Structure 1
């Protein structure tokens, strides 16, 4: 009887790995690893019926001193997020995907900026090769684009990033691509989205930078951003103990979005690093909202 029990357990486990649990079309996005805190995946609550994206922060086109490397990206997220830990969390939770976020605000004290490559094709080639290596090593599924500082002329951004995403998808290196604009970076991201929107799965707009404090103001900000990027791909976002709307007002805002005809098909949170000390309450509440939401996925 004991042998039969273990045999059946192995069968069930294998079945779960081959046939992941049904997901309701909703997605949870969680940035992780940007602050240097020794955060891990294991403590983060993950609902099995939601597609859960961990966004590792950050892969950067720079050396440790912040000097640009012409498209050669390196991983700079916290060392506790190892390739083995990513493989393990994906094995335990088949609904989990992992993405590398590109750039971010700074590396140490060096502010990072998009720069116009002298040879865009070489930049794209270097970026593809270096990201493919990182994605393979860390068992990743996609990329998130989070450049936050731009020169006066940004035409090269849409072309280089759009072609990079397209190449990564066409070569089956990634299955997911997201972008993370905020209020002062709208122009280059709208240009990117207008040209390559079909290759972009979600828009992780950083609504906490819009400085709105109330649900009604959040609704108006969300409506404005969906006019830029479309209703289907923009996700509401929340910064833990940070800027913008805070506490239960965020969930009132989510209800208000649905009451005004927006399908809330996902939530983005920045970040797991900040949530750890509070027991990940916003991750729990966000996933509960998505599971109970009546909007279509």
Structure 2
């Protein structure tokens, strides 16, 4: 899984290496229930990913690579300099109805396969989060509008995501935990962090993650951490990368290396 389009840089799917024999999920950053000024729209989502990511480019990508799925990520950290918050809707059912309707339109327009949930700021208003988001995912899946749903917690948002997962884990396919925010930089500490997140969620759904040229563990140490996880009896179902935008500068080196690692891993189905 790889995030793409969040920085606004002009980026093309054509440049990104995609191996056969592996499920490759692109996660578009971001669809936001706010207007262009960051004002909340009560569940009415709009798209804010790079303008080069179009309906036609996604259609072409999927026709060339049947192993590709494309998801819309909801919210993210900020819109420009404005930090985005989960807010408690006054009418939860109206928020859910608006979200389902607006997301259906986006899904149909862009030929999307699923959603990634990436709300990152709660301000003690997370009581409605699990129900609202869980119901949106459930209803879109029940309508066959989406086939995959992921969540993207990090150290500071673990509790609301654990609540969401406990109540709606049956409709959540993967947990894209942002390990790079946990400030672990060695294989041993990464493994310990993975064990913690595996206990908090469902181990087979937790994907290790890597931030290109960013925070947390970097370079070969990441792959040693993956091997350490495997040596301790865990299967690695996949890896989440943040992000393709950053990888433009190094010719997608880690996309290639991570796919090769997964394809050559005896622990990967």
Common topology (TM > 0.5): yes
Structure 2: distance between partners of 1:91 and 1:46 = 13
CA RMSD, 1 decimal: 0.6
Are 1:247 and 2:216 matched, yes or no? Answer: no
How many residue pairs align between the two structures? 269
Which residue does the alignment assign to 1:129? Answer: 101
Structure 1: distance between partners of 2:268 and 2:116 = 25
Gap regions ≥5 residues in structure 2 = none
1:275 to 228, 242, 247: 247
Q: Deviations over 1:182-230 (max 9, x none)?
A: 0010000000000000000000000000000100000000000000001
1:218 to 187, 190, 196: 190
Are 1:198 and 2:167 matched, yes or no? Answer: no
Structure 2: distance between partners of 1:137 and 1:152 = 34
Q: Which runs of 4+ in 1 moved over 6 A?
A: none
Question: 3-state DSSP class of the match of 2:214?
Answer: coil
Structure 2: distance between partners of 1:283 and 1:264 = 16
Which residue does the alignment assign to 2:89? Answer: 117
TM-fit CA distance, 1:151: 2.0
Are 1:72 and 2:38 matched, yes or no? Answer: no
2:19 to 47, 51, 57: 47
Structure 2: distance between partners of 1:85 and 1:182 = 31
| TM-score calculated relative to the size of structure 2 | 0.99
Are 1:63 and 2:26 matched, yes or no? Answer: no
TM-fit CA distance, 1:153: 3.4
Are 1:102 and 2:74 matched, yes or no? Answer: yes
Question: 3-state DSSP class of the match of 2:128?
Answer: helix
Which residue does the alignment assign to 1:12? Answer: none
| TM-score calculated relative to the size of structure 1 | 0.90
Is the 8 Å Cα contact of residues 262 and 268 (structure 2) preserved in structure 1?
Answer: no
1:81 to 53, 66, 71: 53
TM-fit CA distance, 1:277: 1.1
Is the 8 Å Cα contact of residues 87 and 125 (structure 2) preserved in structure 1?
Answer: no
Gap regions ≥5 residues in structure 1 = 1-28
Are 1:36 and 2:8 matched, yes or no? Answer: yes
Structure 1: distance between partners of 2:167 and 2:204 = 17
